[in-house]
Chain A
Amino acid sequence: MLPSKVEEMLRLALVAELTVIDASGRPITYPLIPLYDGRIIYMTSSVLFSEKLRHIKGNPKVSVALTDQAAIPSEPFHRVTIQGDAIVVDDDLHSGWERLLPLWRAKEPVIDKFFKQRFGIPLFFERAVIEISPRRVFLFEEDPSESPKVFELAETA
C-alpha cells in the first residue's frame, strides 16, 4: 500500500517520468501518463514507441518519478520517486489496454475523441500495458538536498 499522499499524487499526475534500464545498464527516462487503481501503477505504450517495452522485458526494475508541479495539482506539492517491478502485457495489443481507458480518460479527456478516430492513427492505438508493482517510495517533502522519507513496501526483488 502506497502512502496516501503518494496515491493522491498518482491519481492527479498528468505526467510522470518512467525510468527503465537498457541492455547496457544505462537508465533511460520516458515521460508518460501514470494511471493508478489503488494497487498497481499502469502506463501504456504504443508499439510505435516500443523501445521502453523491450528494455523492461530485459530488466523489469523501473522507477516512476512525480516531479512536475505544473502537471500535478496536489497541495502541498512533494516530489516522489517510486521504485518497482514492471511487467509488459502485450498479448492483445489491439484492445487489451482498453480496460485502462476509464483511468486514462479521467486525466486526458481528449483521448476519447482520438480513440473514436483510431482509424486515423491505427498503430498509435496498438498498445502494450506496463504494470508496475511498487516496492519502495522516496518522498521528498523538502528540498532535494534533504534526505527523503523512505517507505519500504515489500522486499526488493
Chain B
Amino acid sequence: MRAREAVKRSQNYPHVVMSYVGTDGYPVSLATHFKADIDRNSFEVGPLSVEMLPAQGQQVNLTFSHVRPVQGIGYDERRYINVYGPAAVSSDGLIVRAETATGWDEKEIPFFEYCERNVGRGLKYFEDVGSRPRLAAGWLFFIATRLPFLTATIIPILLGAAVAASHGFFSWGLLGLTLLGGSALHLGLNVANDVFDDMSGADPANVTPTPFSGGSRVIQYQLLSRRAMAMMSALLYAVGVAVGIYLAETRGSELYILGVAGILVSVAYTAPPFRLVNRGLGEAAVGLGFGPITTLGAYFVMAKEFSGEALFASLPVAIFIALVLYMNEVPDKAADSEVGKRTLVVRWSERAVVRAFSVAAATAYLILALGVTLRILPIYTLGMLVTIPMARSIVRDLNQHFDHPYNLMPAMQRNIGLHLFAGMLLVFGYVLEILI
C-alpha cells in the first residue's frame, strides 16, 4: 500500500496505536488520537503523556485496526493499516511522516485470497523448521480426488440404470459395479487434471482458487507430490479400466467402444497434445463424457443393448454438467489466460459468457419439454422444471459477481446443486414411471 493512500484511509479509523522501541528494548504501544494530514503525508499523534513519548527522530509504527464484533460468531470486517516513519516529537505529541505502509482489508482482498497469496511464505516457514504440511489421509483423498464432484458420474449412471429399469432391466450388483468403475475413472481424471495443471503452471498461477475451481491445491500446498498424484491417478484409472473390462466381458463387447471413448475423452481433456480444455472444447468433452457416454454405458450394462431414450434423457444432464465446468472456469479466467488455457470463458466477453449460460440452461429445459411432448421421456420427468428458478438465480449471480470469485462461490455451489437436483428429478421421474 502506498503511504499516501494509507494516510487517506486512516481517516476511517477512530484511533491509532503508536508503537516504538523503548530504552529497555521492549516495544511501547499506546492508543491515542490522531489527525491525518493528506497534503503533508503525515499524522499528528497525541496528546500523549511526556514520559511515554519516543525519542526525537525515532522510527515509529502507527497501526489503524478495525473489527466488527458479531454475536455468536466472533467478528468480521477485518481491516488494518500499518504506517512507518520517523517521529518529530513536541511537548505532548508527535508528527509522523508516513514513509511506508502495509495493510489488508478483507472487503478488498477476501480472506481466502489473502491466505492464497501467502502460501509461499507458509511453505518457506515449513522448510525453515524442517517440517511439512500435513492433513489426515481421509481428508487428503477427499480433496486430492475432489470427491464431492463425483455426483457428475453418479447422476448419469443412475439415470442410465433408471431408464433401463423402466424397460425391465435392472440389477443392484451391476449398478454397484458400474458406479465403482465410473467413479474410479472420474476420480482418476480429476487427479490427472491437477497433475497437468501443475505442470502447465495454471494452478500455481491461480491466486483466487475456490473449493470449486483452481484444482485441489494439494500439490501447490506440498501435501502430496506431483509424482504421488500421478500414481494415484494411474491407480484409479487402473481400477476403472479393470471394472470396465469385467463388465465388457460379461455384458457385451460394445462397452469397450464406450469405455475407450470415455477414457480417450477424459485423457484428451487435459493431457497434451490434445488438451481439449485449452481449445475451448472442455465443456463439450465433459458434457459428452458425463452425459451420453456414461448414461448409455450404464444402460448397456443393465440391458445389453443401447437405447435412444437413454441418449435423449442424458442430454439435459450433459448440459448441466458442462455448465458446472463452464462456471467454475470463471474465477480461473485470469490464471488460465496467463498460461494459454483458452477456455470458453477466456475466449468470450463477460456478457457473452453469461448469455451462453442462459441459452444452454434454457436448452436443457427445452430438450426435456420436447422429450415429454414427443413421448420419449416419461411425463414425471417434467419435475425437473422446478429447478428453473435455481438456474435463473445462478445466471443473476453470475452476472452480478463475475469478477469477484469469492462472492461467486455460493452461485457456483448452487450450480453444482442444479446438476444434482435436475439429474435426480429425472431419475425420480423414471422411478415414478416404474412405480405408477
Contacts and interface: CB of A to CB of B under 8 A. Distances in A.
Nearest to A46: B122
Nearest to B144: A119
B122 A123 contact: yes
Given A27-B20, A31-B63, A144 B48 contact: yes
B49 A148 contact: yes
A109 to B, nearest CB: 6
A108 B92 CA distance: 38
A145 B68 CA distance: 27
Nearest to A62: B27
Interface stretch (B125-133, B249-257, B300-308, B415-423): B125-133
A68 B27 contact: no
B61 A28 contact: yes
Interface of chain A, helix or strand or loop or mixed? mixed
A63 B24 CA distance: 12
A65 B64 CA distance: 12
B27 A19 contact: yes
A7 interface: no
A101 interface: no
A120 interface: yes
Contacts of B133: 47, 93-94, 122-123, 126
Contact of A48 (B29, B78, B115): B115
Contacts, number: 184
Interface in B103-161: 112, 115, 118-119, 121-126, 129, 131, 133-135, 139-140, 142-143
Interface magnitude class on chain A: 35 or more
A94 B132 CA distance: 9
Interface string A120-149: 111110100000000110101001111110
B399 interface: no
A28 B67 CA distance: 19
B86 to A, nearest CB: 11
B17 interface: yes
A21 interface: yes
B65 A109 contact: no
Contacts of A62: 26-27
A145 B49 contact: yes
B82 interface: yes
A143 B47 contact: yes
Contacts of A49: 118, 121
B168 interface: no
B60 A108 contact: no
Given A26-B84, A29-B82, A47-B125, A124 B115 contact: yes
Given A51-B121, A90-B129, A61 B25 contact: yes
A79 interface: yes
Nearest to B138: A119
Contacts of A26: 21, 59, 61, 84
B142 A119 contact: yes
Interface residues of B, number: 62
Given A29-B19, A93-B131, A145-B47, A119 B143 contact: yes
Contact of A50 (B48, B112, B121, B140): B121
A4 to B, nearest CB: 21
Given A121-B112, A123-B221, A136 B119 contact: no
A109 B70 CA distance: 10
Interface string A26-68: 1111010000000000000011111101100001011111011
A3 interface: no
Given A25-B21, A26-B59, A65 B30 contact: yes
Contacts of B262: none
B268 interface: no
B374 interface: no
Interface in B299-333: none
Contacts of A67: 15, 17, 29, 31
A79 B31 contact: yes
Interface in B24-72: 24-33, 46-49, 51-52, 59-61, 63, 65-69, 72
Given A62-B27, A145-B92, A68 B67 contact: yes
28 contacts: A15-B65, A15-B67, A21-B21, A21-B25, A25-B21, A27-B21, A27-B29, A27-B61, A31-B78, A48-B118, A50-B122, A50-B124, A61-B26, A62-B26, A62-B27, A63-B29, A65-B19, A71-B67, A73-B69, A81-B30, A83-B22, A83-B28, A111-B74, A121-B112, A136-B26, A138-B52, A140-B30, A144-B48
Given A54-B125, A122-B135, 16 more contacts: A14-B69, A17-B29, A17-B63, A26-B21, A26-B84, A31-B80, A49-B121, A61-B25, A65-B17, A65-B31, A68-B15, A81-B29, A110-B74, A121-B112, A138-B52, A147-B52
Interface of A: 14-15, 17, 19-21, 25-29, 31, 46-51, 53-54, 59, 61-65, 67-68, 70-71, 73, 79, 81, 83, 90, 93-94, 107-111, 118-124, 126, 135-136, 138, 140, 143-148, 156
5 closest Cβ contacts across the A-B interface?
Answer: A108-B74, A67-B31, A145-B47, A65-B29, A47-B122
